[in-house]
Amino acid sequence: MSTPRLRSQGEAFLRHLADERQLSPHTVTAYRRDLADLEEFLTGYYGTPDWGWEHVDRLTLRSFLGWGRRKGLARRTLARKLSAARGFFRFLHRDGILDRNPARAMRAPRKEHRLPSHVRARGVEALFELAEARAAENSLKGRRALVALELLYGSGLRLGELHGLDLEELDLVGDQVKVRGKGRKDRIVPLTGAAVTAVRRYLPRRAETGAPPERGPLLVNQSGGRLSRRSIQRMVRELLESSGEEGGGGVHSLRHSFATHLLDAGADLMAVKELLGHASLSTTQIYTHTSKERLKKVYRDAHPRP
């Protein structure tokens, strides 16, 4: 259990992330978990809850990473926890609480180069055939599911972006939508014609829930409230599995598919970066690796000389 002083310093850092850096609530929650893990480790490492941040040095932080490895944490997770610690100690140093940042020169564990999962083009066809058939039944559930797919795959939205999307941010005449992305940065994303049609056909079912007709959350539950993230995830996963795409992943695999299929069709990498709302081009470039790996597999499987 951390002392009130340690808790107050941690809370000040989290407020800094939310108010000054304007990180999303989801990201701030992840930082909170990482700092809680660090405090738990340090209490055990020092053998007493009576310690201060000034006691922490590089050796201690290396031991923290070793503790995480023994718990079976992935390198990607360990890198994120070290990044959280580095930001926290930088904050304490900047505010004069510490005279040095012990995490400053530490290198993060090398991340595994995992290619993002995506749904094959034929799988996307089967997925939308199923969703359109269910939407034709004209229920709230069926119409809503098709809208979700059209925005996740058609516009490349993140789960959080779709969950937080409000009706007034859709421009069904100009075929575009304003999206609030990571870091609370807004971007304008095109809507496909199919997405516009799906939304127009969904709106009468949405109105039946008692939701405001021209404002409020786009995706609503039976009571007219905002549909939860978990419900969106469950809805998309069920559609993927029912269409035969069990290996296609979940909600995020549709965003990956959006990027991969655009690049496969010759789209400009910088344009895809802007559509996805990536801060760095290197983040978008992983999708070119996906295409290259698929080409290598086709080559290996089809070439007459192994």
The residues annotated as belonging to the active site are: 158, 182, 252, 255, 278, 287
Neighbours of 259 (CB within 10 A): 25
Q: What are phi and psi of 74, to 5 degrees?
A: -70, 155
| Interatomic CA distance for residues 134 and 153, integer angstroms | 18
Report the 3 state secondary structure along the chain.
Answer: CCCHHHHHHHHHHHHHHHHHCCCCHHHHHHHHHHHHHHHHHHHHHHCCCCCCHHHCCHHHHHHHHHHHHHCCCCHHHHHHHHHHHHHHHHHHHHCCCCCCCCCCCCCCCCCCCCCCCCCCHHHHHHHHHHHHHHHCCCCHHHHHHHHHHHHHHHCCCCHHHHHCCEHHHEECCCCEEEEECHHHCEEEEECCHHHHHHHHHHHHHHHCCCCCCCCCECCECCCCCECCHHHHHHHHHHHHHHCCCHHHCCHHHHHHHHHHHHHHCCCCHHHHHHHHCCCCHHHHHHHHHHHHHHHHHHHHHHCCCC
